[in-house]
Structure 1
Amino acid sequence: MGNFTIVAGARPNFMKIAPIIHEIQKLQKEKSGVSFRLIHTGQHYDKKMSGDFFEQLDIPQPHANLGAGGGTQAEQTAAIMVAFEKELMENRPDLVLVVGDVTSTLSCSIAAKKLQIDVAHVEGGIRSGDLGMPEEINRMVTDSITDHFFTTSEIANQNLRNSGFSEDKIHFVGNTMIDTLLAQMPKFQKPEGAIFDQLEAGNYFVMTMHRPANVDQEHKLKAMIDAILDGTKGLPIIFPVHPRTAKNLQAIGIEAPNLNMVEPLGYLEFNYLVKNAKGVITDSGGITEEASVMNVPCITLRDNTERPETIDLGTNELVGTNPEKLKPYLDKIMSGDWKKYKGIPLWDGKTAERIVKILEDKYPSVK
């Protein structure tokens, strides 16, 4: 594996690439001719991504930040492509590795392929079937031009086969997000503050909501929060709130003594809360993966999911966006009658090791 560019555009992307960087760094100690550049597109400005963030993950600061955040979908896509093309022309790699399904994943794949540079997609092949989600467009376009797919599940492999991709491009390796979760679990830490000091393990809920379908219509958001408050029967709910959601909640005037709206939390703090929660209520795909592996009951407020393995083998249930359907699921969590984690193949903490072995085979380094 010679010269290699790794792209991240948002905080969860860094969780996914951290274990891959660790494996490349191991290889660098053994062999010459192995090099990588870590590029942050700057897609999401996140004040929590300070020096501490990179120290916690034990990865270097990005070699470059393209600063291409803000604007509409099209403006952001274009800004990332322009900046990343320049980066590639100045530092041409053998391979560009992209992760997940954010705008950066799409933009950087296109820029690389137009310069005839190979692309590898970590989390290739996952599909929700919902073209109303920008992420689904990003997945489909990225996968249509990818050279190597590193997949998280047999379902993703089948999606790619159905699209006509040959087996030699599909590499079933597992989930790098779980590599990070298992490596970081001993470092999880309770967030600071009186709200968190009062929580009893197994006796509170963690909630996240950010998808427009859930948070952009005031009456719908109010009905959903009311249903959650009703079904959790006064147990504390910790709700790290995105600024947009906070604004909408303020407009509705939702308040309850057990609903604790807090600032977004760091990775170690957030997952400490998830690990010790009675249950998780979310519309995020990544959290369903982590909750499943930690055997914590999880309810997904969406009509579809690109991670069906978290339902078949994990602790996740797809409830939909209708507040009236929530009660029986919350009743099951409250009574302790929830399914257990069955184990998802290759979600074992060794995914990055498998990825780097394949890359070394496909792009040999100088011995």
Structure 2
Amino acid sequence: MKIVTIVGARPQFVKAAVLSRAINEYNKKMGDGVVEEVIVHTGQHFDENMSDVFFDQMDIPRPQYNLMINNLSHGAMTGMMLTKIEEVLQKECPDWVLVYGDTNSTLAGALAAKKMHIKVAHVEAGLRSFNMRMPEEINRVLTDRISDLLLCPTETAVSNLKEEGYDKLNNTIVQCGDVMYDAAIYYSKQATKPHGINENEQFVLSTIHRQENTDDGSKLASIFEALSEIAAKRKIILPLHPRTIKKIEQFNITPAKDIQIIEPVGYFEMIWLLSHCSCVVTDSGGLQKEAFFFKKPCITVREETEWVELIQHNVNFLTGSNKDQITRVFGELGDKNIDFDVNLYGEGNTGQIIVEELLAFQR
């Protein structure tokens, strides 16, 4: 069986590492060459700290193809990816195309495969924010609709698909757990302190990159006003995407001196930051879950989240970009009785389950 794996953005590299390791373990057990994986890097995230470092740290195979498509509008990027991925698929003739999450790379990979009648497996299927203004929501909904194997991380994701009628369509829905939980367990012992961080100082970990926040000057200013108030009480470590830095400069926002802005970090550095922080303030989808994995409360500066089970279990708190809401929730965290001892994302064997599902699939 040959699989073409499409990656392009930071979280997808981490997820791909889980599956690559599971494939290697399966091949060792059954004999080399049973499952062949060809990795295609679209180049969607092109910064050295946000791409190459992950392949190095995760010890996964270098991609056989690097399409180097980036810094374009959504339409131009997706269209160019579609063209280039189609060329790869014509050459490789895989049994499966494996896509992750909700990026332009995800949609382009799924669409190219489907038009060539190649089976598509979507990891993190069924997630919904129910906000069709988010490019990610459009990508995930369209990818789900053309996927053959819908690999859902949670009960909520399965329920979303069934409510949309997917159980009556020609596909297979599987609740397999979350690959990011596998990664957190496997790599936690390799956590590495980022350069320039004082490990004896308490801090809040924050990331801000979501387009709905960074492209709106008033929202971005409100978030940084809230961060400034929080930083007056507890230092904030803020790994910042280059694009967000440009937006801060564009909107003339001056971060408080107690907000320590650092360059984007690798996965092992992020694990260290999660392990040592007191809480997380983010608009990232993945970091909400990772905060839960490391038993840290999370304030999500968005109006909605795909990970509703975190809200339901009172470990994650939605505030939007409203400064008063963000600071109020932060001030109340110490009084909350937060219970992290609940199984939401599987047993840490999601990679193995996905490999078995790909091999067992019949249509």
Measured against the shorter chain, the TM-score band is over 0.9
- Aligned pairs for 1:225-236 within 5 A: 225-236=224-235
Q: TM-score, normalised by structure 1?
A: 0.92
**Is 2:184 the counterpart of 1:185?**
no
Equivalences, count: 358
Find the aligned partners of 1:166 and 1:227 in 2 and give their Cα distance. 43
Equivalence for 2:263: 263
Find the aligned partners of 1:3 and 1:165 in 2 and give their Cα distance. 26
Greater alpha carbon shift after TM alignment, 238-247 vs 277-286: 238-247
Equivalence for 1:162: 163
Measured at CA, do residues 361 and 186 of structure 1 come closer, stay the same or move farther in structure 2, by a change above 3 Å? same
Find the aligned partners of 2:299 and 2:48 in 1 and give their Cα distance. 28
Find the aligned partners of 2:176 and 2:182 in 1 and give their Cα distance. 11
How big is each residue's C-alpha offset from its partner over 1:132-163, in whole Å with a ceiling of 9 and x where there is no partner? 10000001111111100110111110111122
How big is each residue's C-alpha offset from its partner over 1:173-225, in whole Å with a ceiling of 9 and x where there is no partner? 000011111111000011112xx12642xx21011111233223334323322
- Aligned pairs for 1:321-360 within 5 A: 321-333=321-333, 335=334, 337-360=336-359
Q: TM-score, normalised by structure 2?
A: 0.93
One-letter identity of the residue aligned with 1:311: I
Equivalence for 2:137: 136
**Is 2:175 the counterpart of 1:172?**
yes
**Is 2:281 the counterpart of 1:281?**
yes
Alignment identity in percent?
Answer: 35
Conservation of the 8 A alpha-carbon contact between 1:332 and 1:338: no
- Aligned pairs for 1:189-228 within 5 A: 189-193=192-196, 196-197=197-198, 199-200=200-201, 203-228=202-227
Find the aligned partners of 1:308 and 1:330 in 2 and give their Cα distance. 19
Equivalence for 1:55: 56
Find the aligned partners of 2:283 and 2:153 in 1 and give their Cα distance. 20
**Shift of residue 314, structure 1, vs aligned partner:** 6.3
3-state SS in 2 of match to 1:116: coil
3-state SS in 2 of match to 1:197: coil
**Shift of residue 253, structure 1, vs aligned partner:** 4.5
One-letter identity of the residue aligned with 2:188: M
Find the aligned partners of 2:130 and 2:229 in 1 and give their Cα distance. 32
How big is each residue's C-alpha offset from its partner over 1:217-236, in whole Å with a ceiling of 9 and x where there is no partner? 33432332222322454311
How big is each residue's C-alpha offset from its partner over 1:1-35, in whole Å with a ceiling of 9 and x where there is no partner? x1111111112101111111111112222235421
Conservation of the 8 A alpha-carbon contact between 2:45 and 2:51: no
Conservation of the 8 A alpha-carbon contact between 1:6 and 1:96: yes
Equivalence for 2:96: 95
**Shift of residue 353, structure 1, vs aligned partner:** 0.9
How big is each residue's C-alpha offset from its partner over 1:265-318, in whole Å with a ceiling of 9 and x where there is no partner? 111112211221111100011000000111101000000111112222362111
Equivalence for 1:307: 307
Measured at CA, do residues 358 and 282 of structure 1 come closer, stay the same or move farther in structure 2, by a change above 3 Å? same
Conservation of the 8 A alpha-carbon contact between 1:68 and 1:83: no
Equivalence for 1:244: 243
Greater alpha carbon shift after TM alignment, 48-57 vs 6-15: 48-57
Measured at CA, do residues 23 and 328 of structure 1 come closer, stay the same or move farther in structure 2, by a change above 3 Å? same
Find the aligned partners of 2:88 and 2:314 in 1 and give their Cα distance. 40
One-letter identity of the residue aligned with 1:281: V
Equivalence for 1:46: 47
Equivalence for 1:84: 85
3-state SS in 1 of match to 2:159: helix
Gaps of 5+ in 2: none
Measured at CA, do residues 69 and 114 of structure 1 come closer, stay the same or move farther in structure 2, by a change above 3 Å? same
Conservation of the 8 A alpha-carbon contact between 1:208 and 1:240: yes
Find the aligned partners of 1:290 and 1:22 in 2 and give their Cα distance. 20
Measured at CA, do residues 209 and 176 of structure 1 come closer, stay the same or move farther in structure 2, by a change above 3 Å? same
Conservation of the 8 A alpha-carbon contact between 2:231 and 2:258: no
Find the aligned partners of 2:255 and 2:319 in 1 and give their Cα distance. 24
Task: Please report the RMSD computed on the Cα atoms of aligned residues, expressed in angstroms.
Answer: 2.0
